[in-house]
Amino acid sequence: MSSIAELEKKIKILESELERERSKNERGRQKIAHMSSEVVDTNPYSRLMALKRMGIVDNYERIRDFAVAVVGVGGVGSVAAEMLTRCGIGKLLLFDYDKVELANMNRLFYQPHQAGLSKVEAAERTLKEINPDVEFEIYNYNITTVDNFQHFMDRISKGGLKECTPVDLVLSCVDNFEARMAINTACNELGQKWIESGVSENAVSGHIQFIIPGETSCFACAPPLVVATHTDEKTLKREGVCAASLPTTMAIVAGFLVQNTLKYLLHFGNVAYYLGYNALEDFFPTMVMKPNPQCDDNYCRQQQAEFQKREAAKPKQVVEERKEEAVTHDDNDWGIELVSETTEEESRLAEGDTPHLTEGVKFAYTKPVQSAQNDSGVTVEKTDQSLEELMQQMKGL
């Protein structure tokens, strides 16, 4: 084949590819100025607006008035961002420094042809195609470096739907404690509400936690052991051992996260403060955790003081006491009794300043004492006696 014929053949192939791409773009939908509840096949919002008719949400269109920041657009964050986009959220701010890799393909959202692209860029392209009504801001950086942290603070405090207003909610979908602590620090300082999310390394459990600075426990109030002991988590990464992940668990946690976001923003149902998921047992613990007055985070303690002040200034509500009738069982032929499974040690740890824990949930550890010195004041006096003599004395007691 002559080189001209080869070139002509190549041009034909390229032309047909261009045609395909063009028709793809033409098929994409145009922006929609007003959300309508009209039930027609061409209305992308008809099923969402039906929530109004069903009496679940008073004013679904309000979804367009909100801006949400998603920090980390990996297995959980990308799916959460897609859900919010399909729901018609007003604006999304996406933060991530990673690139799409083929090793991510066990999860939802990203596709093999996007490998090598930055996650935020790939996400924005896909999401804009799904819903061009949503406004996007993307940042391809690590929020934990000093300069980026300042910029991150600036965007969550000024990147709302109207410039110079804060975002309505921050969703943490990061995979390391350092980034969680950075979000925690920023949100405590700004008084910004946020929802933390996490999936375990073995891929079979996860949780979400709604954090209202000063009102509910922050990430530093009851820190994971790695944070409490000031361990550098990078030293925990074992060579050649990679964390497991399942698309199922990640999508369930993303679903919890966005469901809670919708309930909070659109005022329906009960907003969860902590919702856990244990896939092996199908166990979903929920609870509310109060902030720790001795939290390491200075801004958390300040927010707690301000919250207490606001609460004290509120007019007192008279709560009518409801008397519960004592349950009596007349016939208990078999003498069945309920026995607590909690040990005395466990219930002692769950008392006092420590937050109240829901049934089935227990503390993994108690916070280590900062100083290595024994400051209890009780010391054993120095003695010249040998160990054998001391043992002899103990036996004689």
Smallest separation (angstroms) from Zn ion to the CB of 273 = 14
Instruction: Please say which residue, 35 or 221, places its beta carbon nearer to Zn ion.
Output: 221
Instruction: Please say which residue, 133 or 297, places its beta carbon nearer to Zn ion.
Output: 297
Q: Which residue has the tokens 């606001």?
A: 310
Residue 283 in tokens = 């166990």
User: Helix/strand/coil (H, E, C) string of the chain?
Assistant: CCHHHHHHHHHHHHHHHHHHHHHHHHHCCCCCCCCCCCCCCCCCCHHHHHHHHCCCCCCHHHHHHCEEEEECCCCCHHHHHHHHHHHCCCEEEEECCCECCHHHCCCCCCCHHHCCCEHHHHHHHHHHHHCCCCEEEEECCCCCCHHHHHHHHHHHHHECCCCCECCCEEEECCCCHHHHHHHHHHHHHHCCCEEEEEECCCCCEEEEEEECCCCCCCCCCCCCHHHHCCCCHHHHCCCCCCCCCCHHHHHHHHHHHHHHHHHHHHCCCCCCCEEEEECCCCECCEECCCCCCCCCCHHHHHHHHHHHHHHHHCCCCCCCCCCCCCCCCCCCCCCCCCCCCCCHHHHHHCCCCCCCCCCCCCCCCCCCCCCCCCCCCCCCCCCCCCHHHHHHHHHHC
Instruction: Please say which residue, 92 or 300, places its beta carbon nearer to Zn ion.
Output: 300
242 is a catalytic site residue? yes
Residues that bind Zn ion (CB under 5 A): 218, 220-221, 295, 297, 300
Q: Pick the catalytic residue: 187, 242, 295, 300? A: 242
Smallest separation (angstroms) from Zn ion to the CB of 291 = 5
Smallest separation (angstroms) from Zn ion to the CB of 352 = 17
Smallest separation (angstroms) from Zn ion to the CB of 292 = 6
For 320, 323, 329, 335, the CA distances from 326, given in Å and listed in that order, are: 18, 9, 10, 18
Smallest separation (angstroms) from Zn ion to the CB of 225 = 16
Single out the residue of 73, 34, 76 nearest to residue 207, CA to CA: 76
Smallest separation (angstroms) from Zn ion to the CB of 214 = 9
Single out the residue of 259, 108, 107 nearest to residue 171, CA to CA: 259
Instruction: Please say which residue, 129 or 306, places its beta carbon nearer to Zn ion.
Output: 306
Smallest separation (angstroms) from Zn ion to the CB of 267 = 26
Instruction: Please say which residue, 174 or 295, places its beta carbon nearer to Zn ion.
Output: 295
Instruction: Please say which residue, 236 or 364, places its beta carbon nearer to Zn ion.
Output: 364
Single out the residue of 354, 226, 208 nearest to residue 294, CA to CA: 354
Instruction: Please say which residue, 97 or 307, places its beta carbon nearer to Zn ion.
Output: 307
The set of catalytic residues is 242
